[in-house]
Amino acid sequence: MFGEYAGLLTEAIFTQNLALSYYLGMCSFLAISRRVETALGMGLAVTFVLTVTCPLNHLLYHNLLAKGALAWIPGAAEVDLSFLMLLFLIGTIAATVQIVELTIEKVSPKLYAALGIFLPLIAVNCAILGGSLFTIERDYTLAESTVFGFGSGVGFAVAIVALAAIREQLRYSDVPAALRGLGISFIVVGLMSFGFLALSGM
């Protein structure tokens, strides 16, 4: 039981890393990785949002949207609302992001300024939506989807912090002018996922 969750956690963090195995959430991954501190803030925000939205969306889907979920209403046993899935998932995510945004603005205005437009944009970050969709597609239980959401968030945070550290160190490198900035970052992300391939298949 416990071992299963530990396995799922390592899988979500390392072997099926949202950023480096599925290449989800690339926009914020590349945009917020210039400095380690802000990258860490972004990683923590994503972790929080994923940990909350994955189980929440799991509950929503299985108690409201899935076929037969409304069986307790007389005559509604056959109703299948899963075509509304994307709408509901994004709604939950947007609400959670709003809470995070208000909290960060209050607690750390500096981080809020550094994250800029990308904080509200977590709402439409494909990594977050991907996390929720994976929990539904893979038929996780409520506990499993919580663990998976948390693990995916930590995986994203680890990856973005590592990328930020690499990019800070790249200031001492002699990158061709045409590749400086985003270009070399794309290459670095590709090379990083080479490293993460080490753990695939475990």
Partner 1 sequence: MRNVPDPSPTTAVSSGPFVRDGFALRHVKAIFGLSLLPCLAMAVFNTGLQANRAIAAGATPLSDGRSVLLNALGVSPDPASTLNCVLFGMLYVGPLVFVCAAGAGVVETINSRLRQRRPSATWPIFGLLLALTLPPTTPLWQAFLATCFGILFGQEIFGGPGMSFLNPVLLGRAFLFFAYPAGMSGDAPWIAASFEKVDAFSGATPLASVMLGQESLSHTAWWSALIGTIPGSIGETSFVACVIGAIVLLGSGVASWRIVAGVVLGTFAAVAFFNQVGVDGNAMYALPFHWHIVTGSWAFATVFLATDASSAPFSDGGRWVYGVGIGLLAIVIRVANPVYAEGMMLAILFMNVFAPLINFVTVELHLRYRRGYRAV
- Name the site residues for partner 1 (rule: CB under 8 A): 36, 161-162, 165-166, 168-170, 172-176, 179, 184, 187-188, 191-192, 194-202
* Residue nearer to partner 1 on the CB measure, 140 or 196: 196
* Distance (Å, whole) CA 195 – CA 165: 15
Q: State the minimum distance, in angstroms, from the CB of residue 140 to partner 1.
A: 23
Closest residue by Cα to residue 5 from 180, 184, 151:
151
Q: State the minimum distance, in angstroms, from the CB of residue 33 to partner 1.
A: 12
* Residue nearer to partner 1 on the CB measure, 109 or 190: 190
Instruction: Decide if 124 contacts 91 (C-beta within 8 A).
Output: no
* Residue nearer to partner 1 on the CB measure, 2 or 172: 172
Q: State the minimum distance, in angstroms, from the CB of residue 20 to partner 1.
A: 9
* Distance (Å, whole) CA 48 – CA 124: 15
* Residue nearer to partner 1 on the CB measure, 71 or 198: 198
> What are the helix (H) ranges across 32-180?
36-60, 85-107, 109-115, 126-137, 142-169
